[in-house]
């Protein structure tokens, strides 16, 4: 197989080859006094054994485990992590190793970036979503009630270690959640990559594909760390997608995953792109077909469109109350800062709802 380069970010490396070996080297080089591994109950069970096998289990390691799920990404669990660090005697020279999905990297990154005004942390992402998205870009955060990521910091990890083996125990639905972001990366920046993804078996994405996604996300955030310009390209599918995700979280017993909601959002926003920024009818049907094939159909007709619009109006990315979408000129070419009226957005929602 092809050799996967280490990707360099502004101040840190993202490792793909022998990444747990690289983590062992990193720990050896780092002169840290203590090491803490943050897991949730699933990564503690499925991922920690491999990590311990590769690192050995020296006596300056302590484990911190939280329950699995988004409900753990809040201030109470953050206080729990801080208290454990205090109880274990963590000092400024401690390292926090975040072993898990986006919940662990967001919460762990936030807890570390604020503990004693900031201790070092690294990410070992174990979901596809966290490998291609959450662990790259330096955003950390927690939720308050159901307001996602409302409190947080921009703090870079000291390194990211991507190990494909962890995906072996990840449920199919979680894989598909990450796949949506990979498809988004192709749609906004790289038509060749989109074509490769289309032809691949995405139930077990090849490391080469994960690598390309990380390259794209990393390049975008490096160019625009504070989301003034091109980082907004990553919001494609997310204006309507987030609203659908929130709606589903509140109304469905078995709610949509982030990626499932974003896939719906990308179909609706591709329709808006066709109306507003020149995406051709052929490309709109191609995007629709690929996504409908991969993701289960969701009954959007049942959702009250006024409520969906209300969620979009509350989006923290808006400016002076106007709803902003990232659209596409064509596959592989994003187009940021498109103000969309409620009527237009409802048309996009109806396009999906009546497919």
- C-beta of 46 vs 198, nearer to ligand NAD: 46
Contact 128, 210 (CB under 8 A): yes
- C-beta of 94 vs 130, nearer to ligand NAD: 130
Task: Identify residues 146-185 at the interface with ligand NAD (CB under 6 A).
Answer: 148-149, 166, 169-170, 174, 177
Nearest-approach distance from CB 247 to ligand NAD, in angstroms: 16
Nearest-approach distance from CB 133 to ligand NAD, in angstroms: 4
Instruction: Name which position in 94, 113, 126, 218 contacts ligand NAD (CB under 6 A).
Output: 126
Contacts of 20 by beta carbon, 8 Å cutoff, 6+ apart? 50, 51, 54, 55, 124, 161, 163
Nearest-approach distance from CB 13 to ligand NAD, in angstroms: 18
**What would the x/- binding string for ligand NAD be over residues 254 to 293, using CB under 6 A?**
----x-----------------------------------
Task: Identify residues 81-100 at the interface with ligand NAD (CB under 6 A).
Answer: 100
- C-beta of 258 vs 276, nearer to ligand NAD: 258
- C-beta of 126 vs 179, nearer to ligand NAD: 126
Applying CB under 6 A, the site for ligand NAD has a residue count of: 31
11 — phi, psi (to 5°)?
-130, 5
Q: Strands 7-8, 147-154: parallel, antiparallel or unpaired by DSSP?
A: unpaired
127 binds ligand NAD (CB under 6 A): yes
Nearest-approach distance from CB 245 to ligand NAD, in angstroms: 10
Instruction: Name which position in 22, 36, 84, 102 contacts ligand NAD (CB under 6 A).
Output: 102
129 binds ligand NAD (CB under 6 A): yes
Sort 199 into a burial class: Cβ within 10 Å, 0-12 / 13-18 / 19+: exposed
108 binds ligand NAD (CB under 6 A): no
**Cβ atoms within 10 A of the Cβ of 28, count?**
10
Nearest-approach distance from CB 102 to ligand NAD, in angstroms: 2
**What would the x/- binding string for ligand NAD be over residues 32 to 71, using CB under 6 A?**
--------x-xx--xx--------------------xxx-
- C-beta of 32 vs 113, nearer to ligand NAD: 113
Cα 117 from Cα 97, distance rounded (Å): 17
Instruction: Name which position in 34, 139, 212, 238 contacts ligand NAD (CB under 6 A).
Output: 139
Q: What residue number has its CB nearest to ligand NAD?
A: 102
Sort 282 into a burial class: Cβ within 10 Å, 0-12 / 13-18 / 19+: exposed
Contact 7, 14 (CB under 8 A): yes
Q: Where does this chain bind ligand NAD (CB under 6 A)? A: 40, 42-43, 46-47, 68-70, 73, 100-104, 106, 126-127, 129-130, 133-134, 137, 139, 148-149, 166, 169-170, 174, 177, 258
């Amino acid at each position: 197989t092809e050799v996967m380069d280490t990707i360099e970010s502004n101040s840190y490396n993202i490792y793909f080859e022998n990444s747990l070996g690289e983590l062992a080297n990193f720990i050896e080089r780092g002169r840290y006094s203590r090491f803490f591994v943050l897991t949730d109950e699933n990564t503690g069970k499925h991922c920690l054994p491999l990590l311990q096998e590769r690192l050995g289990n020296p006596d300056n390691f302590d484990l911190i485990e939280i329950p699995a799920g988004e409900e753990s990404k809040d201030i109470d669990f953050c206080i729990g992590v801080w208290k454990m660090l205090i109880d274990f005697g963590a000092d400024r020279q401690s390292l926090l190793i975040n072993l898990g999905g986006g919940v662990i990297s967001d919460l762990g990154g936030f807890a570390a970036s604020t503990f004693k005004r900031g201790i070092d942390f690294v990410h070992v992402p174990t979901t596809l979503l966290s490998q291609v998205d959450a662990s790259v870009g330096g955003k950390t955060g927690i939720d308050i009630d159901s307001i996602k990521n409302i409190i947080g910091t921009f703090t870079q990890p000291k390194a990211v270690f991507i190990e494909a083996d962890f995906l072996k125990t990840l449920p199919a639905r979680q894989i598909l959640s990450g796949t949506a972001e990979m498809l988004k990366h192709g749609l906004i920046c790289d038509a060749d990559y989109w074509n490769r993804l289309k032809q691949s078996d995405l139930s077990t994405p090849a490391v080469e594909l994960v690598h390309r996604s990380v390259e794209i996300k990393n390049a975008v955030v490096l160019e625009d760390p504070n989301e003034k310009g091109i980082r907004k390209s990553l919001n494609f599918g997310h204006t309507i997608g987030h609203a659908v995700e929130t709606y589903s979280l509140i109304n469905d017993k078995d709610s949509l995953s982030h990626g499932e909601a974003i896939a719906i959002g990308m179909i609706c926003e591709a329709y808006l792109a066709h109306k507003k920024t020149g995406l051709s009818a052929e490309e709109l049907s191609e995007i629709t077909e690929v996504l409908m094939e991969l993701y289960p159909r969701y009954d959007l007709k049942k959702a009250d469109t006024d409520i969906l619009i209300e969620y979009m109006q509350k989006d923290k990315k808006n400016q002076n109350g106007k709803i902003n979408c990232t659209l596409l000129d064509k596959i592989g070419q994003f187009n940021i800062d498109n103000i969309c009226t409620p009527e237009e957005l409802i048309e996009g929602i109806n396009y999906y709802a009546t497919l």
